[in-house]
Amino acid sequence: MPESIPESTRSAAMGRLSRWLLLGEWRAHPLRALVAIAAIAVGISLGFAIHLINAAAFNEFSSAIKGLSGVADIQVRGTEPFFDEAVYPMLAQRQGVAVASPVLEFDASVPGETTALKILGIDAFRASFISSDLVGAPSEDHVTDTLADDALFLSPAAQQWLKLADGGQLKLQVGVGELKLRVAGSLQRARAGQRIGVMDLGAAQWRFEKLGQLSRIDLKLRDGVNRDTFKAELEQHLQHDYPGRFRVNQPNDEEQNSRNEGMSRAYRVNLTVLALVALFTGAFLVFSTQALSVIRRRSQFALLRVLGMDRKHLLRQILIEGLSLGIAGSVIGIAAGYGMAAAALHFMGADLGAGFFSGVRPQVQFTPVAAVVYFTLGVVVALLGCAAPALDAARAKPAVALKSGTEEAAMSRLSRAWPALACIALAALLSQAPPVFELPLFGYLSIALLLVGAIALMPRLAAIVFRLTHRRWSAATAHKPGASPVVTLTLSRLANASSQAGIALGGVLSSFSLMVAMAIMVSSFRVSLDDWLQHILPADIYVSVASAGTTAGLRPQEQAAIVALPGVAKADFLRVRAVSLTSARPPVALMARNLDVADPGAALAIVGTTQAPGPGAPPPVWVSEAMVDLYGTHVGQRIELPLNGKLHAFQVAGVWRDYARPTGSVQIRLDDYRAITGDMEASNVALWLKPGAKATDTDKALKQLPFGAALTTTAPTEIREMSMKVFDRSFAITYLLEAIAIVIGLFGVAATFSAQTLARAKEFGMLRHVGVTRRQVLSILAIEGGALTGLGIVTGFVLGWIISLILVFVVNPQSFHWSMQLHLPWPLLATVAGLLLAAAALTALLAGRQSLSGGPIRAVREDW
C-alpha cells in the first residue's frame, strides 16, 4: 500500500480486509471451523463442569462440617473413634476456656438401608453457646424433648430420606437388636442434603451402649486468649499426659480444609486431566485446520504480500482466524459447562458416583475467576494450534509461494526430528519423577510431551514408511506391465508429500492414542479389581449385621451360635474400626481378622515379600499400599497404633493391595486385637461350608437363629457384581470422556481428510487431464485414506500403549496409592480402529466426489 495513504485509512482498510478474509474462509469451509470449535468447546465445557461440580460439593461439604463445629475455637478429638469422658473436666476447667461442649458422634445402622445415619449426642445447655444449629426445637407440648431419652431431632434431609414426620418412630440397630426412637422435631438450620440426627448426650451414651465415652470436645475460649498459643500448649499437655490419644485442631482451619479437600483431590484432578484430553485434541484440530488452510491459500497470501501486506499483518491475520475459533469454542464451552454442572448435580449428585461428599446437596455457583481461566485456556490452546502455520505463512517468500506445487515445502520445518526426539526423551525422564503434592504432575507432563513428540515425528515417520513402501512396490512391479497404476500413484503421492500426510496422521494419532490409553487404563483397573475381589473373597457365604454404620455388631454369644451351625466348617470374624495416625490425614481403617503369619497371602492380596516377626518382636500387622506412600511404612518397620487409650507397638509383616480404602488400612490378627482392646464384637463373618453342605441350607439356618432377622447373607459372586456396578458408576464420567474422545477423533479424521482432499482439486484435475478416470481417482483417495489411517492406528496403538503404561504404573499409584495389572481390551480397540478406517475412507470418497465435480479443465486452468 502506498505510504501516502493516511494511517487511519490504512488501518481501516486492513481491518476490512481481515474481516473479509476471515468470513470468507468460514463461509468456504464451515465444517472444518465447526469441528475445531466443537473440539475446544467440549474440552472447556468438561473441564469447567468438573471444576464447578467439585467446587460446589467441597464448599457445601465444608459448610456442613462447619455447621457441626459451630463457633468452637479449639476441637479435641481422640485418635480412636471414642475416648473416656474423664478428660472432659480437665478441659472444661482449663484456664482460658469459656465453654466446653462434649459431643458423641457415630454412624447409626439403619435396618434395610445401605447408608448410615450420623447421630450426635450433645449437652444442649453447653452446645447452645457453641453449635446452636445442633440444638433441636421441641414442640410447645414437649418442651423437655431435648433431654428425653427416647427423642431424636432429624435434619430435613434425614426426615425426607427416612420418610418420617415429627412424632414418627425411627428404628435403628444396636448390636443385633432394634432400638426405637421418637422423632421429636427437625433441625431447620441443617445444610441442604445433610442427613444427621441429634439427641441428648446421656441418652445417646445409654441407648447406644457407649456409656462414659465421647468423640470430641468443642472449646470456646475467653476473649483475649490467643488460639494458636492455647492450641500449642494444650497439644503439649495432652501429649505428655495422654501420649498418642488426642488430636487438637482449630475447626475449619486450613489444615482441616486441606484434609477434607484431599479426599477427592486426586479423583478431581484425574477427571480434569481427562477432560483436557478433548481440549488437546481440539488444539491439534485447530492446527490441522489452519495448516491445511494456509497450504491451500499459500498463493493467495503471497499475492497479498506482493500487493503490500507486510509479514506482521499476515501473521496477525492467521492468528486472528485461530483466535476466533478459540473464542467461539471457549464461550460455548463455558456456557455448556455450566449447564452440564447444573444437570450433573441435579441428577448424579455431588460425587459423580465416586462416593465423595455424600450427604450434601450443593447448588452450582458460577465462578467468574474459573470461567476466565478456562476461557483463557481455550483461547491459548487455539493460538498455539495455529502458531506454526501462521509463522510459516509469514516467513514464506512471495515469489516462491506464488508458484503452484510448493505446498509440500510449506510444512517442511515440521518434519525436523530433533525437537520431537527431545520431547520424547524428556518425557521418559519425567515419567520416573516422584509426585508433587501427592499428585502425578510429572506423569501428566510426560504424557503431554509424548503426544507432542510423537505427533511432531509423524511427517518423518510417514516419509520413511511410504518411501520404503514405494521403492519396494516400484521394484516389484518394474517388469510387470499390468501393475495397478492406482497403487503406484497413491504410493508416489504419499512418499513425496510426507508433511501433508503427517498432518492427517497426527489427527488419527492424537485421538486414537488417547482413546487407547484411557481404554487400557480403565480395563486394567476393572480386571485388576475383579481379580482382587476373587482373591479376597474365598469363603462360601459372607454374613453382615448391617450394610453401613458402626452400631450394629455380633457379640460373643451370637458368634458362637453361628459357628455351631451344622453346615459351617470355619468362620472368620472381622472387626473394623478407624484410627487416626496423624492430624494431617483422614483416619485409616484398622481391620482385625484371623490371619496366618506363615501364609498371609491366603487371605490378603500380598504385594512383594513378607517378613514374619522374630522371637520377642511386636505382633505383626499388614499394611496397604496406601500406607507405604502416605506414611512411609515398609516391611520390617515398627509402628505404633492407638488402641484402648494407649500406643501399642507392631511390626509390619507385609504389604497388601486394597482397592477399597485409598486413605490407608492396616490388618491385624483378631486375637491380638481382642487381647489389647477387650473388644469381642465382630462386624462381619465369612463362612466356609463343610463338604456337601448347601449354601441355601446354611442361609435358612442363619435366618432361624434368634437374631437371624438382623443378618444379611451374600454370596461372593453377588459381592463382586455389586462391586463392579459401583466401579462402573464411579467411572461413568470416564466412560463419557472416552466416548467423547472417540467422537472427536472421528470428526477430526473426517475434517482433516476432507480438507486435504478438497485442497487437491487442481491435482485431481491434472490427473483427469492426463487420462486417469474418475473411478481411479476415487480409488486413489480411498487407498490413500486407508493407508494413512492404518499407519496412524498402528502408531497410535503403540503410543497409546506407552501412555497407558504411565497411567497404570505411574499416574494411578501416585494418585490413589494402589497398583494394578495391565490388560488390553482388544474388542473395543479393534472396533474403534475399524470405525476410524471406515470414517477416513468414506470421507476421502465423499470429498473426492466433490473435488471432481468441477471437471478437469476448470480444475487446472489456474496453472496455465
Fill in the amino acid letter for 508: V
Q: Which residues of 170-205 are buried (b: 16+ CB within 10 A; e: fewer)?
A: bebbbbbeebebbbbbbbeebbebbbbbbbbbebbb
Residues 695 and 584 in one domain: yes
Domain count, the chain: 4
Quickly count: other Cβ atoms within 10 Å of residue 837's Cβ: 18
The pLDDT value given to residue 745: 62
Residue 862 banded pLDDT, cuts 50, 70, 90: very low
- Of the listed ranges 397-401, 683-687, 693-697, the one predicted with least confidence: 397-401
Provide mean pLDDT across the span 732-740.
70
Which of 198, 217, 250 is a domain's end point? 250
The pLDDT value given to residue 262: 56
Pick from 329, 323, 258: which is nearest to 48 by CA? 329
Residue 758 banded pLDDT, cuts 50, 70, 90: low
Provide mean pLDDT across the span 475-504.
76
- Of the listed ranges 363-367, 726-730, 795-799, the one predicted with least confidence: 726-730
- Of the listed ranges 80-84, 118-122, 499-503, the one predicted with least confidence: 499-503
Residue 402 banded pLDDT, cuts 50, 70, 90: low
Residue 9 lies in a domain: no
Residues 222 and 137 in one domain: yes
The pLDDT value given to residue 850: 66
DSSP annotation string for 592-658: EE---SS-GGGTS-EES------TTPPPEEEEEHHHHHHH---TT-EEEEEETTEEEEEEEEEEE--
What is the residue range of 240's domain?
Answer: 71-250
Residues 188 and 227 in one domain: yes
Q: Is residue 34 exposed (0-12), middle (13-18) or buried (19+ Cβ within 10 Å)?
A: middle
Q: Dmax over Cα atoms in the chain, in whole Å?
A: 108
- Of the listed ranges 166-170, 396-400, 672-676, 812-816, the one predicted with least confidence: 396-400
pLDDT mean across residues, the chain: 84
Pick from 655, 656, 353, 669: which is nearest to 532 by CA? 656
Summarised one tens digit per residue, pLDDT across range 34-93 is 777 877 887 788 788 878 887 777 777 677 777 777 889 999 999 999 999 999 999 999
pLDDT at 356 exceeding the cut of 70 = no
Fill in the amino acid letter for 553: G
The pLDDT value given to residue 1: 45
Q: Show the cell assigned to 783.
A: 487407498
Provide mean pLDDT across the span 464-488.
84
Residues 179 and 308 in one domain: no
The pLDDT value given to residue 55: 78
Residues 124 and 233 in one domain: yes
Residue 89 lies in a domain: yes
The residue assigned the cell 485456556 is 377
Distance CA 78, CA 245 (A): 6
Task: Give, rounded to a whole angstrom, the gap between the first and last alpha carbons of the chain.
Answer: 28
Which of 379, 409, 439 is a domain's end point? 409
The pLDDT value given to residue 681: 94
pLDDT at 354 exceeding the cut of 90 = no
User: How does strand 151-154 pair with strand 196-200?
Assistant: antiparallel
Fill in the amino acid letter for 255: E
* 460 or 200, greater pLDDT: 200
Residue 864 banded pLDDT, cuts 50, 70, 90: very low
Summarised one tens digit per residue, pLDDT across range 520-573 is 998 999 999 999 999 999 999 999 988 788 999 999 999 999 999 999 999 999
User: What own/partner pairs with CB < 8 Å and gap ≥ 24 does 3-12 have?
Assistant: none
The pLDDT value given to residue 98: 95
Residues 766 and 825 in one domain: yes
pLDDT at 11 exceeding the cut of 80 = no
Residues 242 and 298 in one domain: no
Residue 257 lies in a domain: no
Residues 725 and 855 in one domain: yes
Residues 641 and 693 in one domain: yes
Residue 862 lies in a domain: yes
* 744 or 112, greater pLDDT: 112
The pLDDT value given to residue 642: 95
Give the DSSP H or E segment for 201. helix 201-207
Provide mean pLDDT across the span 347-373.
71
Residue 139 lies in a domain: yes
* 169 or 359, greater pLDDT: 169
Summarised one tens digit per residue, pLDDT across range 191-244 is 877 899 999 999 999 999 999 999 999 999 999 999 999 999 999 999 999 998
Provide mean pLDDT across the span 267-274.
69
The pLDDT value given to residue 863: 42
Residues 861 and 723 in one domain: yes
Say what the pTM is: 0.84
- Of the listed ranges 30-44, 636-650, 690-704, the one predicted with least confidence: 30-44
Residue 255 lies in a domain: no
Fill in the amino acid letter for 447: I
Residue 258 lies in a domain: no
Summarised one tens digit per residue, pLDDT across range 612-627 is 998 889 999 999 999 9
Which of 394, 409, 424 is a domain's end point? 409
Residues 106 and 246 in one domain: yes
- Of the listed ranges 333-342, 478-487, 645-654, 684-693, the one predicted with least confidence: 478-487
Q: Which residues of 738-768 are buried (b: 16+ CB within 10 A; e: fewer)?
A: bebbbbbbbbbbbbbbbbbbbbbbbbbbbbb
Query: Are the beta carbons of 468 and 802 closer than 8 angstroms?
Result: no
Residues 484 and 605 in one domain: no
Distance CA 593, CA 581 (A): 20
Residue 261 lies in a domain: no
The pLDDT value given to residue 496: 76
Distance CA 275, CA 444 (A): 13
